[in-house]
Amino acid sequence: MPRTEPIKAVRGVRDILPDQRGLWRVAEQAAANVARRFGYREIVTPLIEYRELIERLGEETDAVAKELYGFEDRGGRHLALRPEATAGVVRAYFEGGLNQRPQPARLYLIGPMFRYDRPQKGRYRQFFQFNVEAIGGASPALDAEVIELARAWLLESGLSDLTLDLNSIGDDKCRPAYLGLLREYYRPLKEKLHPDCQKRLEVNPLRLLDCKVPQDQPFKAGAPRITDHLCDDCQAAWVMVRRLLDEAAIKYNLNPYLVRGLDYYTRTVFEFYPTSSSGQQDTVGGGGRYDGLAEAEGWPSTPGVGFAGGLDRVTELMAAAGEEVIVEPAAEVAVLPDAELVAEAAEVARLARALRSVIVDFEPRSLRAKMRAADKLGVRWALLLGAADAKRRVAQLRDMTTGEQAEVAWSELPERLA
């Protein structure tokens, strides 16, 4: 009897097994390819950051207020596992001197993020994102570029049935007055709102617009829309982004209730979700402009715009769409020696590896069992090695698809496997 129960993975996190990695690699390769075509260079930032950096995303943000993996290290530092990448990428842009290079810096990052949310299908506590960030450029053309890049990635990953929602949420100049109007509109309705939304009304009224509670839905239609209250600069940007998307033949849906879950956005915000779904809970990716984030982190005021797509959800949709990925066999050649021929088998493998991927079956089992295992692994050739053959430095090369078998000298292996 085992002394303890086997120890399983932590709640809300997953393993990606070798047979599944193929699908992930397709999505990651598509990300790297599309990023390269748009001139975005890869950056890797740490999974841990100072908690304070993450808190600059906005203390009212769910990812910070409710879902943060915060901890104290042995040196008493208050750290957090990153819930998203943008804060760290902006930090690295300044710390690494990318702000001194030609602007904007076009960057991309693929890696895990952590949020302590209630796990369910498509929502994990460790999940993976493909992020792109264009930092140091204020042109609305960059907003359209990031959207075009994101869309190209999703298409190249095989997801075509997606809807793009678009909105502008203004900036420091026009948003305060709009929030005043929004509060004015909702205040007389306060008693009828869900308690969470009553709280939002005071601390973060913009989030009233993306409230999902059924009882609050009827009030939304009459609420003032921020796109009717943009200042001149925000309005000009809003017109330009849509014009550029139109010219790129990118379809979008104007969604006045799209405000996004992170508090750092200004102007353009957008999300992609499966057309058949009801919306935001299945979002495969989203982003927007964050012109105030650098300053919130304590750096000089610097504009930026970006996107993050969820690889977990993208690969799930790819699988559901029946996207076939050929599972690569672990190796092309399996060396199947008699039990005592360990050194000889290793030598044969070494010779064959000059050209092919090779595994050796060192297990103490019959040749029949070894053949069966090699077949299951999908190898193309088996190299059978018995004592008499080994003395003569030959082996039996078996083609696993045709079943043909022929003697081959070790020295000739590279050409026979070519």
Provide the mask over 279-318, with x wherever binding to ligand HAM is found by CB under 6 A and - wherever it is not. Answer: ----xxxxxx-x---------------xxx-x-xx-----
Cα 307 to Cα 288: distance, rounded to the nearest angstrom: 6
Nearer to ligand HAM, 134 or 358 (CB): 134
Q: Is 164 in the site for ligand HAM (CB under 6 A)?
A: no
Whose structure tokens read 């009553």? Answer: 198
Q: Are 15 and 24 in contact (CB under 8 A)?
A: no
CB of 70 to ligand HAM, least distance (A): 16
CB of 385 to ligand HAM, least distance (A): 48
CB of 294 to ligand HAM, least distance (A): 13
Q: Which two tokens stand for residue 205?
A: 């009224």
Interface of this chain with ligand HAM, residues 118 to 147, rule: CB under 6 A: 122-124, 127, 129, 131, 133
CB of 84 to ligand HAM, least distance (A): 3
Q: Are 111 and 128 in contact (CB under 8 A)?
A: yes
Single-letter amino acid code for the residue at 398: R
Torsional class of 136: left (φ above 0), alpha (ψ -120 to 50), beta (otherwise)? left
Q: Are 350 and 411 in contact (CB under 8 A)?
A: no
Paired sense of beta strands 304-310 and 285-289, if any:
antiparallel
Nearer to ligand HAM, 284 or 384 (CB): 284
How many residues interact with ligand HAM (rule CB under 6 A)?
27
Single-letter amino acid code for the residue at 203: V
Question: Which has the closest alpha carbon to 103: 71, 74, 136?
Answer: 136
Cis peptide before 104 (omega within 30 of 0): yes
Comparing every residue's Cβ against ligand HAM, the nearest one is 310
Nearer to ligand HAM, 55 or 84 (CB): 84
Nearer to ligand HAM, 262 or 348 (CB): 262
Q: Are 289 and 166 in contact (CB under 8 A)?
A: no
Nearer to ligand HAM, 117 or 156 (CB): 117
Q: Are 34 and 153 in contact (CB under 8 A)?
A: yes
Provide the mask over 226-265, with x wherever binding to ligand HAM is found by CB under 6 A and - wherever it is not. Answer: -----------------------------------xx---
Distance between first and last Cα of the chain: 50
Q: Which stretch binds ligand HAM (CB under 6 A): 79-87, 134-142, 223-231, 366-374?
A: 79-87
User: Given the rule CB under 6 A, which residues bind ligand HAM?
Assistant: 84-86, 115, 117, 122-124, 127, 129, 131, 133, 261-262, 283-288, 290, 306-308, 310, 312-313
